[in-house]
């Protein structure tokens, strides 16, 4: 007997009697595992095994059955599952894990990735007077959506979904063992997958879903059980080893694997792939299953990503690869003058767009898919797509990367002359922007941007790198004898600095509404051109960053010291770099250890690689990868964090500075480690201070620079005035100075006379 259809919520005092209730749906109308990129807010995360609501069936006598809506049991998601979801299907399938999920997932059609799914619930021998769906109030949005099936399976149309609810769109109550038009496999499926609350095997369900969760996620206990990382024989020319805790061991593995991956994805011609070859993806809003060999951005040379990768390669001694990538980027940049394109009838200079090897993809393709722009045909006619797009931050960052690579190679004037066309063109673009504000929207001496770091705005993340890149290129021009150009370029740098100082500040600090990405980028970018001592940075800019630091940190600490709302690089790594450089040692220690947890997934492919994003419930202790594994800019920013922790600062002035910033309880040892911007290498070992004492061994080899060596010890308690340290087993008593939330002690010595 097939009863008429009912819609939800269903209420009828007479009720409908039957043996089963069949409901179409079983998916969540917010068809994601989390917001795009990830989150650390538990209310926005949907993990397999999570309770997301209840299916409540009320009978004529007032009693009710409550069917729990559990993801993986009575609910499922289309997200990612509609591809070839590993490890449940396709290459690398885990048969045992797949069997556990198949045993538990009680939605007919869901496993097979059909468009529509069906749940069957066994009913009591009473008329049903109400059927409704109630959401879990602890989850955002707080209501699941279900619909109840009332007409033949093959002809029903889904009702519009309400966002944020579990979805069952239609239902029917019937005595039939199967409904018309179901597949031949339906009877066998429902024989073992009918929800019967009189004998509900919730313990078995939970055990299966716990096993699935264990396979797909990293759990708190995994970090304490992380093994000591043994550095393989195929390591890069140097060694980096952290110790003192399981998280420190994870840091050693993270540095090794991510730097090896970065080197391998850099082609001999300098092309750095934003996704490494055959990189898997958890998709930005996936819920646990992943796609192998996704290669999301393998064919793209992204300006922002590659610039940060160039600087990270340079930090870790891969100067040749960095220079090769700079040259290739220069060739990509020249596409506009090569193509002879114009805007407003004026030739467009070479510049770095988002994807340098696909210079027009945003302005001529993505614009038709809703990418916001002021370069419309109404405003600029047929020339509207000729600019490519304004990846202002990518342009400046590529300049910074090129300057850093040139400096690390020895600041050779001949190199500047050989590559002058590329160098001059970069600055020509910035001058062109200032000289043609009607075309480029320069306003109040600030550069405009149209990609993620600005999005039709004027931001710190877009303008700071162009300013620092200009300063670097002025030094390059001066070194090569192009004094006239250097003088001219300085006038534009001065204008840009003035625009930043006037337009991007708010009282004593930076205007955080104009950050551009998740965090204040100023100190982190200054570290690329000044080194790791804030005393070598512009004091007023450091002061502004210090003023906004508490507000900038606030969202990161809301849910357990994880900044994962905007990508691991843009969010967690940037605030970690700020905390380290500003000597906020308590914050920095927590953030560095959180970064180690983010990097580690022992049961998943490439267990030490940095993911693009994360979904983290710190209270439950569950960590899930999101997005592109090893995504270039996220990886490179995370490696910069560990470089700052090691503390062997790039040498930009007359002083070699060694200033480790270790989390409490950690030790570090490096061997043959590059002293950036010199031809020397460093061996160093030290540990976090014990009380008011600390020991370090340090040696420099190669062409030791004729510079002063300053070694910083600490952190010590802020009220500590005098400490005893040893350098190469020689004791010293030193006065301390307060910086950030701790005291530190400097020892100055001639590097040629190290004890």
Instruction: Give the closest residue to 521 by CA, choosing from 356, 633, 425, 427.
Output: 633
Q: What is the DSSP string of 187-220?
A: HHHHHHH-B-GGG--HHHHHHHHHHHHHHHSEEH
pLDDT tens digits, one per residue of 488-523: 999 999 999 999 999 999 999 999 999 999 999 999
pLDDT tens digits, one per residue of 515-570: 999 999 999 999 999 999 999 999 999 999 999 999 999 999 999 999 998 899 99
Instruction: Give the closest residue to 582 by CA, choosing from 651, 526, 639, 648.
Output: 526
Q: Phi and psi for 698 in degrees, rounded to 5?
A: -150, 135
Q: Where are the domains of the chain?
A: 10-216, 223-231+243-268+299-600, 656-753
Instruction: Give the closest residue to 65 by CA, choosing from 190, 195, 206.
Output: 195
Radius of gyration of the chain (CA): 29
Work out whether strand 509-510 and strand 505-506 pair parallel, antiparallel, or are unpaired.
Answer: antiparallel
Instruction: Identify whether the C-beta of residue 286 lies closer than 8 Å to the C-beta of residue 33.
Output: yes
Rounded Cα–Cα distance for residues 443 and 392 (Å): 14
CA angle 461, 466, 472 (to 5 degrees): 130
Work out whether strand 622-629 and strand 218-219 pair parallel, antiparallel, or are unpaired.
Answer: antiparallel
Rounded Cα–Cα distance for residues 644 and 582 (Å): 11
- Which runs of consecutive H residues, i.e. helices, occur in 355-412? 361-364, 377-380, 392-408
pLDDT of 162: 37
Tokens 């003088």, residue located? 487
Mean pLDDT by 10 residues, the chain (755 residues): 62 87 81 92 95 92 95 92 95 95 95 87 92 85 50 35 52 68 84 86 89 98 96 85 98 97 98 98 96 97 98 97 98 97 97 95 85 92 91 98 97 98 98 98 97 94 98 98 98 98 98 96 98 98 98 94 94 98 98 98 98 97 98 98 98 95 98 95 97 96 87 97 97 97 96 84
Task: List b or e across 424-439, with b for residues whose CB sees 16 or more CB atoms inside 10 angstroms.
Answer: bbbbbbbbbbbeeeeb
Length reported for the chain = 755
Rounded Cα–Cα distance for residues 249 and 230 (Å): 9
Q: What is the DSSP string of 253-307?
A: HHHHHHHHHHHHTB-TTS-B-SS-TT--B-TTT--S-BBTT--TTTT--BHHHHH
pLDDT of 115: 74
Instruction: Identify whether the C-beta of residue 496 lies closer than 8 Å to the C-beta of residue 442.
Output: no
Q: What's the sign of the alpha-carbon dihedral 469, 471, 473, 475?
A: negative
Max CA-CA distance within the chain?
96
Instruction: Give the closest residue to 622 by CA, choosing from 217, 320, 265.
Output: 217
pLDDT of 136: 85
Instruction: Identify whether the C-beta of residue 71 lies closer than 8 Å to the C-beta of residue 286.
Output: no
Task: List b or e across 680-706, with b for residues whose CB sees 16 or more CB atoms inside 10 angstroms.
Answer: bbbbbbbbbbeebebbbebebeeebbe
Q: Could you please state the CATH topology (level 3) that the domain comprising 223-231+243-268+299-600 is classified under.
A: Glycosyltransferase (1.50.10)
pLDDT of 368: 81
**22 pairs with which residues across the strands?**
120, 172
């Amino acid at each position: 007997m097939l009863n008429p259809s009912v819609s939800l919520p269903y209420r009828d005092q007479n009720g409908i009697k039957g043996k089963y209730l069949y409901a179409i749906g079983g998916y969540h109308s917010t068809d994601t595992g989390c917001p795009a990129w990830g989150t650390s807010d538990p209310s926005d995360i949907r993990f397999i095994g999570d309770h997301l609501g209840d299916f409540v069936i009320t009978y004529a006598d007032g009693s009710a059955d409550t069917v729990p809506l559990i993801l993986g049991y009575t609910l499922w998601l289309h997200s990612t599952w509609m591809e070839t979801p590993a490890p449940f299907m396709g290459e690398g399938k885990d048969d045992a894990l797949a069997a556990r999920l198949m045993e538990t997932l009680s939605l007919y059609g869901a496993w097979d990735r059909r468009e529509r799914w069906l749940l069957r619930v066994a009913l009591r021998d009473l008329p049903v007077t109400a059927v409704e769906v109630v959401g879990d109030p602890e989850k955002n949005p707080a209501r699941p959506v279900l619909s109840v099936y009332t007409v033949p399976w093959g002809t029903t149309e889904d009702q519009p979904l309400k966002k944020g609810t579990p979805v069952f769109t239609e239902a029917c109550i019937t005595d039939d063992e199967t409904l018309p038009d179901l597949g031949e496999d339906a009877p066998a499926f429902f024989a073992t997958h009918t929800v019967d609350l009189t004998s509900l095997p919730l313990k078995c369900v939970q055990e299966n879903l716990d096993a699935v969760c264990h396979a797909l996620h990293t759990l708190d206990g995994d970090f304490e059980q992380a093994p000591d990382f043994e550095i393989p024989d195929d390591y890069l020319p140097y060694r980096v080893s952290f110790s003192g805790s399981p998280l420190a061991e994870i840091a050693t593995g993270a540095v090794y694997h991510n730097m090896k991956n970065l080197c391998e994805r850099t082609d001999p011609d300098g092309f750095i792939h934003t996704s490494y070859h055959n990189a898997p993806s958890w998709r930005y809003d996936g819920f646990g299953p992943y796609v192998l060999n996704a290669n999301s951005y393998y064919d793209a040379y992204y300006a922002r990503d590659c610039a940060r990768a160039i600087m990270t390669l340079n930090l870790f001694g891969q100067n040749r690869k960095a220079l090769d990538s700079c040259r290739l980027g220069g060739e990509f940049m020249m596409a506009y003058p090569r193509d002879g394109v114009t805007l407003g009838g004026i030739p467009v200079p070479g510049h770095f767009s988002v994807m340098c090897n696909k210079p027009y993809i945003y302005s001529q393709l993505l614009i038709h898919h809703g990418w916001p722009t002021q370069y419309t045909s109404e405003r600029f006619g047929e020339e509207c797509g000729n600019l490519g797009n304004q990846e202002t931050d990518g342009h400046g960052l590529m300049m910074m990367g090129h300057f850093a690579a040139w400096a690390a190679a020895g600041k050779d004037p001949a190199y500047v002359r050989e590559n002058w066309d590329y160098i001059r063109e970069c600055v020509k673009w910035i001058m062109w922007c200032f000289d043609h504000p009607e075309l480029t929207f320069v306003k109040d001496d600030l550069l405009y941007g149209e990609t993620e770091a600005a999005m039709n705005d004027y931001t710190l993340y877009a303008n700071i790198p162009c300013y620092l890149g200009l300063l670097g290129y002025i030094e390059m021009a001066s070194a090569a004898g192009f004094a006239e150009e250097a003088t001219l370029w300085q006038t534009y740098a001065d204008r840009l600095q003035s625009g930043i100082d006037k337009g991007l500040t708010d009282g004593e600090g930076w205007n955080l509404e104009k950050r551009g990405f998740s965090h204040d980028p100023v100190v982190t970018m200054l570290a690329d051109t000044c080194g790791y001592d804030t005393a070598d940075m512009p004091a007023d800019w450091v002061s502004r960053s210090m003023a906004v630091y508490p507000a900038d940190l606030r969202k990161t600490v809301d849910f357990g010291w994880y900044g994962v709302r905007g990508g691991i690089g843009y969010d967690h790594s940037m605030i970690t770099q700020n905390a380290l450089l500003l000597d906020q040692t308590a914050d920095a220690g927590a953030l560095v250890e959180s970064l180690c947890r983010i990097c580690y997934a022992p049961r998943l492919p490439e267990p030490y690689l940095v993911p693009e994003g994360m979904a983290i419930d710190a209270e439950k202790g569950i960590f899930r990868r999101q997005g592109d594994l090893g995504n270039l800019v996220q990886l490179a920013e995370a490696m910069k964090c560990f470089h700052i922790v090691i503390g062997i600062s790039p040498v930009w002035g007359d002083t070699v500075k060694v200033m480790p910033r270790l989390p409490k309880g950690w030790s570090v040892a490096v061997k043959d480690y590059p002293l950036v911007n010199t031809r020397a290498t460093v061996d160093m070992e030290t540990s976090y201070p014990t009380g008011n004492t600390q020991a370090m061994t340090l040696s420099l080899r190669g062409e030791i620079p004729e510079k002063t060596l300053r070694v910083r010890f600490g952190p010590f308690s802020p009220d500590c005035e005098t400490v005893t340290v040893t350098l190469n087993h020689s004791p010293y008593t030193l006065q301390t100075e307060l910086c950030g939330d701790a005291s530190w002690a400097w020892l100055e010595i001639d590097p040629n006379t190290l004890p």
